[in-house]
Amino acid sequence: MIESLRKKMSASFDNMLKDFGGLRTGRASATILDNIMVEAYGNMVPIQQVGTVSVPEARLITVQVWDTSLLKPTEVAIRNSPIGLSPVVDGQLIRIAIPDLSEERRKEICKLAGKYAEQTRVAVRNVRREGMDDLKKQEKNKEISEDVHKKMSDEVQKLTDEFIKKIDASLALKEKEIMKV
């Protein structure tokens, strides 16, 4: 049971790290565009499914769009995304220059990182609640004793505390990275 809870908590943590990867820190990274969805052929698809995302220079991201009819929707998706970038279309290539971040923008990005971390904490606590409810149910159905219930509850709480610590440490690291000029 503990292993299944660990997997769920770990999945939430990994998702947060993926979201952190999409936060702009002043350096170009292809992961910045990971969460951008483009309207293509009547469906919303990830940007990686309409073109090749690459980082040819430290402050430049390019998207080589495969189908010219998707250039405009891809440009609009990037422009309207919350990451605050201005794409420039150059033939079938979309160039995205990564400008230096202002102090104000750095603080906004830190708030967004904090929001991601809080969502992950909530997800981890929900997994803990599921585990605790499951233990109560098992004790009520006489599948486990009260002592086993208590011991398992303590293990679930320790696991939760471990993941909350990891979330907080990752957030502190990301905030430090974002605020570094």
pLDDT in tens, 91-104: 889 999 887 777 88
Q: Which CATH number is 2-20+102-179's, of 3.40.50.620, 1.10.1740.10, 3.40.50.2000, 1.10.132.20?
A: 1.10.132.20
How does DSSP classify residue 68? Answer: G
- Report the chain's mean pLDDT, rounded to a whole number: 88
* 155/131 Cα distance (integer angstroms): 10
Give the model confidence (pLDDT) of 28-65 as tens digits. Answer: 777 788 888 999 888 999 999 999 999 888 788 999 99
CA 69 to chain centre: 29
Distance CA 86, CA 21 (A): 19
**Does 11 have pLDDT greater than 90?**
yes
Q: What tokens does 1 get?
A: 């049971």
CA distances from 68 to 35, 48, 77, 132, 167 (A): 21, 15, 15, 53, 41
Is-contact 88 74, C-beta < 8 A?
no
CA 96 to chain centre: 21
Q: What angle do CA 120, 122, 124 make, to 5 degrees?
A: 70
Instruction: Give the pLDDT confidence of 138-181 residue by residue, as tens digits.
Output: 989 989 888 999 999 999 999 999 999 999 999 999 998 888 76
pTM for the whole structure: 0.69
Q: Which of 168, 148, 144 is nearest to 156 (CA)?
A: 148
Q: Where in the chain is the domain with CATH 3.30.1360.40?
A: 27-97
The fold for domain 27-97 equals Gyrase A; domain 2 (3.30.1360)
- Give percent above pLDDT 90 in the chain: 51
d(C-alpha 22, C-alpha 16), whole Å? 10
The first and second tokens of residue 16, run together, are: 């947060």
Question: Cα 59–50–66 angle (5° rounding)?
Answer: 90
Note the helical H segments in 42-102. Answer: 71-80
Start-end of CATH 1.10.132.20 domains in the chain = 2-20+102-179
